[in-house]
Structure 1
Amino acid sequence: MVVGEAVCPWVRASIAYQHDMKGHIDAIHYYSKYSIELPQPDKSLQFPQQPLYYYAAAMVYTASKAMGFNEHDAIYSIRVMSVVFASAWLLLGWGLVRIFTKRVLTVNLFLAFLAFTPSFIYLGGVVNNDALNALLGMASLYFVSLFYYQKKRKWFALSTLVILLAMLTKISSVLYALFFVAVLLVLYFKDTSRRERYQNEILVFGLAVLFVFGFALFKAYIPADGEFRFVNSGLYGGQVIPKFGVEYFLTFHLPALLEAAQSHVMGPDIIRFSLPTYFYGTLFLGEFDFSRHFSGGSLFRVWSQLIFLLGLLYAVGIAGYVYFYKRLSVLLKLIVIPVAINFALIIKFLLSYWVVCNSDFRYFTPTFGAIGLMIVLGLEQGWVKWPKMKKQILVTAVLP
């Protein structure tokens, strides 16, 4: 964690722009001027988004301007806020993984997954609502896990609070509401002595979620058109996916990824028109064009290829999670719920707006923590059963 925080701000400082930054800045400007009146969702790219991140960013922006910062530095201060969110995300991740295991290697692998996966570093240092969304997703997992094992009311209250805040950051975070309901139902049927309590907690939590979801519907409503809009997207030139089928959903082209050494949104069709391939590529290097770094004897291309090869360790961890699923605790089995719902929401979004940029792995932002747990605990189960596997994992984990 110390190394990660020493390196990451330097890496983030070199990131000047991301493709949807203007939409986020437009929203921040709006909330800095109009603190109560909500924006019409059809008026700018990010206006349909839920308001919590933009209120927080608007306060930082307004304070920076009041201190005499110019526009560039005021925007940069919002990126510093993202680094703070990412740092808190790491701390919560450290607490989360230690709920499930005390093995030092597993804990360190999980933290390495969070701190050094390149796309996560990127998301933790730019102007967008994903840094806060990732933090609140991790907090949701953390407090729900504490509640499951300790049954304390304070953990129920904190779980409810962070899930509601997550929904006010991105409405897709409703997936953690469904996860928490599943956990409460498991406790309701397992612990008969506390059934009345769990019944009341399900009722209270359900009403709170419905209230916030009602606000989200209000936020997304366009009076002039009489419709709801949760996102602004479209069919962008050169990105339209020609067809959905077995080839799109089930093929994985690792050799093509190694040849391209990137997963550019306008790159080779064999990569971007294959969902598993594009997911895998954007998990590590996002959807950006790095070809300018490939010339002049640069090692960037080789480094990218090495990342794609050694990243297969993630796939081994997921395979281990699936293989040893029956041996896992009930809560670890339930962790697949938010990830599965997240995936379903991505597919729904993709089918509504069938363009390549809508299949970027960054849409798994709220469930990064859950995916990381699945990977490292799947690996742990493997080396418990096959001790020789531990040495291989140590070597592979250190090399990246």
Structure 2
Amino acid sequence: MSSNDIIVSLDIGTSKVRAIIGEVNNGAINIIGVGSADSEGIRKGAIVDIDQTVQSIRNAIEHAERMVGIQISDVYVGIQGNHIALQTNHGVVAVSNEDREIGEEDIERVVQAAKVVALPPEREIINLVPKQYLVDGLEGISDPRGMIGVRLEVEATIVTGAKTAIHNLMRCVEKAGLRISGVILMSLASGVISLTKDEKMMGTVLADIGAGSCTITIFEQGGLAATSTLPIGGEYVTNDIAYGLRTQSDQAEKIKLKYGCSYIGDAAEDVKFKVLRMGSNVEKEFSQVDLASIIEPRMQEIFSLIKQEVRRLGYHDKVSSYVLTGGAVTMPGTLALAQAELESTVRVALPDYIGVRDPAYSSGVGMIQYVSKYMGARGTTSTVKKAASSRKTGSTASSKPGMFERIKNMFNEFI
């Protein structure tokens, strides 16, 4: 592999930590490795135990490394949560080239100008998403490179987050021995892979339903319009099953994944399974219909809350469809229930890559696509093997230059 064609994304979720390795060849992306580990230290999408989270990250990274046979040193990290906020800003610069041709440097300067915004001390910028560029007042330009003009402007959406949440996330990744190439809003990354250009233009709600939280992102006029996070997800379904069937949570999770159905009408009475009851050695038999009667009300509540949140954000009459993604939407019957509850056009989005054709991987694969498309990968793995080995040797590598410097200085004194 060449040095600049690998991008690694890290999706730190409530139930799983996923590391996905993508190889970029002439703009085409191949997913060559996936590492997954049970997530410890995360509750409802927020870090509650640094050491446990660090260990989960290490486990996921090592799993991915073993699959591909390389060592990872640099990762792009996804972030989400109810601390995320959006605001718009405007940047203006004069074109610097003598021939007035707009180049990469001008775009970088106007983006930096748009980042100059008054923020409370407890918040910082995560991403900046250009809505449109303007060249000498001409609107609606998506890429001004190569155009002739005197004044370049950008209208952008600034994504901000709480410093505490961002720095705790970065601290966990760094303690796991990794370097952070960038922090990316996960719902923005999911939008790249889950939504078509027309869906982004007409107004679409992207609902990413994970284990501990549900992130609602609204796209309109081709860009990010609003985002919100609800503290509810697939974990609540698991808890309901554990309570309803009087069994352990880990057993309830296995039953949900194997026999779960979100819609009673799609469940089969003849599909039976046995459950070991809590506090005894007695097994009791249930049908898939019994299980669906527990799951359906909770899934109905989740979709009802999504609908209410879209209304609260002021977009109920502006959106034309809903797109579902995330691990909790994989259950049979989810689509039928969502269509009935949301009273709208609904579809489930999943990445179209071998090995990751599952809505749970949308954010991780979306980050790789986002970096490849908008951030130019920035040579993320020019030090994949070298830096990974240096993190294992520790401080020995860093002490060598100093030693050579001292020897050189000693000889200089004799000369």
Question: What is the TM-score normalised by the length of structure 1?
Answer: 0.26
Q: Which has the higher strand share?
A: 2
Q: Which has the higher helix share?
A: 1
Find the structure with the greater CA-based Rg: 2
